[in-house]
């Protein structure tokens, strides 16, 4: 199987302060991979690097012919400005921009596609609702509908199931499995280890540096999880020492 993403001695961070160090490895085309680790492990930073929001401090990311802008990216809900005056319909229709361009018109066929995506996530009837009126679960359903319209080969999901109800989680997991069955490459940052074990065949355990990467059952062992927590704690202590010394 080909490699969709390859990381070569990758270091990512902000203002020259690394948050992910020395990552080597590859994400296979069509794989379904959970990226797990303690808070502050660098999961969101890694995803921002994959989609081109930040550039590597060292090393590189190879994407096997996929441009960063063509990767479907679901950021954490906290990064979405819910006060922006836009309707659910228009927010979902933004998923067509990759094919239509920023100022491309939406025809009757496109409107059917948008309505189909809304139906697929259970939001029929919500088209004209302002996004600021949505619950957490409804917001996540809307963002998944936008991903459907992007029709991307690579899909990156940052904490897609946090703070949503059980029914919404189950419905959205069905879409993730559908993408996997279509041989799309899916990466998801996850906190719920039981959800990972039940749904993600492969996992990357990250603690600023890679701890383990491979079959989920082999990665999510108590020993590896303890090692990851201790590594993050050590990085935090080093960072605090630098602040004090400064």
Output the pLDDT for position 20.
96
The answer to whether residues 167 and 114 touch, using CB atoms and an 8 Å cutoff, is no
Going by C-alpha positions, the residue among 208, 155, 206 that lies closest to residue 32 is 155
Quick one: how far is CA 81 from the chain centroid? 18
pLDDT by position in tens, the chain (length 246): 699 999 999 999 998 889 999 999 999 999 999 999 999 999 999 999 999 999 999 999 999 999 999 999 999 988 888 888 999 999 999 999 765 554 456 667 889 999 999 999 999 999 999 999 999 999 999 999 999 999 999 999 999 999 899 999 999 999 999 999 999 999 999 999 999 999 999 999 999 999 999 999 999 999 999 999 999 888 776 655 443 333
Output the pLDDT for position 234.
86
The answer to whether residues 141 and 121 touch, using CB atoms and an 8 Å cutoff, is yes
**Which sequence spans correspond to the domains of the chain?**
1-71+154-159+184-246, 74-151
Which one of 3.30.565.10, 3.40.50.12780, 3.30.365.10, 3.40.50.300 gives the CATH number of domain 1-71+154-159+184-246? Answer: 3.40.50.300
Output the pLDDT for position 109.
83
Output the pLDDT for position 83.
87
């Amino acid at each position: 199987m080909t490699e969709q993403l390859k990381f070569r001695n990758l270091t990512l961070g902000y203002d020259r302060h690394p948050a992910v160090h020395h990552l080597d490895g590859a994400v296979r085309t069509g794989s379904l991979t959970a990226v797990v680790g303690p808070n502050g492990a660098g999961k969101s930073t890694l995803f921002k690097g994959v989609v081109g929001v930040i550039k590597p401090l060292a090393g590189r990311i190879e994407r096997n012919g996929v441009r960063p802008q063509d990767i479907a990216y679901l950021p954490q809900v906290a990064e979405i400005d819910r006060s922006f005056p836009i309707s659910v319909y228009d927010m979902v229709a933004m998923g067509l921009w990759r094919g239509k361009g920023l100022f491309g018109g939406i025809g009757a066929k496109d409107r059917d596609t948008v309505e189909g995506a809304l139906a697929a996530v259970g939001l029929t009837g919500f088209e004209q609702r302002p996004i600021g009126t949505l619950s957490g679960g409804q917001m996540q359903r809307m963002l998944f509908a936008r991903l459907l319209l992007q029709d991307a080969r690579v899909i990156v999901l940052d904490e897609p199931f946090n703070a949503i109800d059980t029914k919404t989680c189950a419905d959205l997991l069905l879409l993730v499995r559908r993408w996997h069955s279509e041989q799309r490459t899916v990466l998801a940052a996850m906190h719920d280890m039981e959800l990972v074990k039940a749904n993600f065949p492969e996992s990357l355990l990250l603690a600023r540096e890679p701890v383990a990467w491979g079959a989920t059952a082999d990665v999510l062992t108590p020993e590896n999880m303890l090692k990851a927590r201790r590594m993050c704690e050590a990085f935090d202590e080093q960072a605090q020492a630098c602040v004090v010394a400064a």
